[in-house]
Structure 1
Amino acid sequence: MENCEEYVVIVDEEDKQIGIERKLTVHSKNTPLHRAFSLFLFNSTKELLLQQRAKDKKTWPLVWSNSCCGHPLPDESYTSAVIRRTLYELGIKLNAVEKISDYRYCFSRDGIMENEICPVFVAFYDGSVVPNPKEVQAVKWIKWEDWLKETGKHPNRYSPWCVEETLILAADSKFNRLHVL
């Protein structure tokens, strides 16, 4: 499925679909608002999986970010997209994910804009990670408390959406209840 051409869903500010565009061409200096998601994946020792984006990624190549990001396909739910993309990027089959928060952002780097409605999801996983080299340069696990300190001291080392989403999670009571388990 991931080898065929992908499309992203273009939306308005209320996340209502207004069009569909090819993923390869949608990201430009004037990217239209579209659907995406972010996943923060934790293991049972409360470590967060980070990924360094592959060097050939069009947006934010070689930048460290949260566990997995992607776009729902047309007629695909956000939850299904998270599960599909995590398997494709990290070789991880998730059975359940939890939406924590809505999020919307717009950032530009190297002449490419990201402009997304991007709900933040959390999942838990203990097992091996098999990164897809087309998508992921490297992965590492980090204790949540250390991650909070790291992004507070050095936010420019990471994708800007990941840093903002980290703050959203840290302040969210639902996330804090889930994360204490």
Structure 2
Amino acid sequence: MSKNELLDLVNEKDEVIGTVWKSEAHKDPTKIHREVAIAVFNEKGEVLLQQRSMKKLTGRGEWKITAAGHVGRGEDPQKAVVREAEEELGLKIVPKYFGKKFVIRGDKEARFFWIYYSIVKNHPSLKLDEDEVMDARWVKLDKLEEFAIKNDYDLLGNSHKIIVELKKKLKL
């Protein structure tokens, strides 16, 4: 998705009430827009984390959930998450909806997050988009705390909370 595209403007019930430019959505916490995130796990009990590019406007160099991004105007969230995984990591996935979506409010923006997951075999090959991602690593779920200490990975952040909830649900 480009730096300034039209997004659906939604209310607290995730009903479309208009459109908003991406750049405006990131400056006004009263304008809720949609975003998607996916956690990709493998059969070895690992989750794929990405390190955000230093070219990003926010979260530069931070380790985050596998892939995430904006849902374009009129775009289906499931199609958006497939697009984001392929754009950022060259990863072809079959997403499953986690059954959770929620509003995250910040000082400058409000996002309605749709959460997905996927389980893949082994370690599929990755093709990182350098404008989006600096690095990607498979991390054993029982080693996330150790990984957090060694890297800039926030154990209290949304990515970690989502991974922990998915781990419980999927019994990984």
Structure number with higher strand proportion: 2
SS of residue matched to 1:84:
helix
Distance 1:114 1:42 in 2: 29
- Residue of structure 2 in register with 1:118 after alignment: 113
Kept in 1, the 8 Å contact 2:3–2:22? The answer is: no
Structure number with higher helix proportion: 1
- The alignment covers a number of residue pairs equal to 168
TM-score, normalising length: structure 2:
0.83
Structure 2 unmatched ranges of 5 or more: none
Distance 1:29 1:61 in 2: 21
SS of residue matched to 2:160:
helix
Distance 1:67 1:18 in 2: 30
Structure 1 unmatched ranges of 5 or more: none
Percent same amino acid among aligned pairs? Answer: 24
TM-score, normalising length: structure 1:
0.79
Superposed structure 1 runs of 4+ greater than 3 Å apart: 2-5, 149-154
SS of residue matched to 1:119:
strand
Distance 2:147 2:167 in 1: 12
87 and 133 in structure 1: CA distance in 2 versus 1, 3 angstrom threshold = same
Q: In the TM superposition, what are the counterparts of 1:5-24 in structure 2 within 5 Å?
A: 5-24=4-23
Kept in 2, the 8 Å contact 1:7–1:22? The answer is: yes
2:168 is the alignment partner of 1:144:
no
Kept in 1, the 8 Å contact 2:29–2:105? The answer is: no
Q: In the TM superposition, what are the counterparts of 1:52-131 in structure 2 within 5 Å?
A: 52-94=51-93, 96-100=94-98, 101-108=100-107, 113-125=108-120, 126-131=123-128
Kept in 1, the 8 Å contact 2:128–2:135? The answer is: yes
2:156 is the alignment partner of 1:157:
no
C-alpha root-mean-square deviation of aligned residues, in Å? 2.7
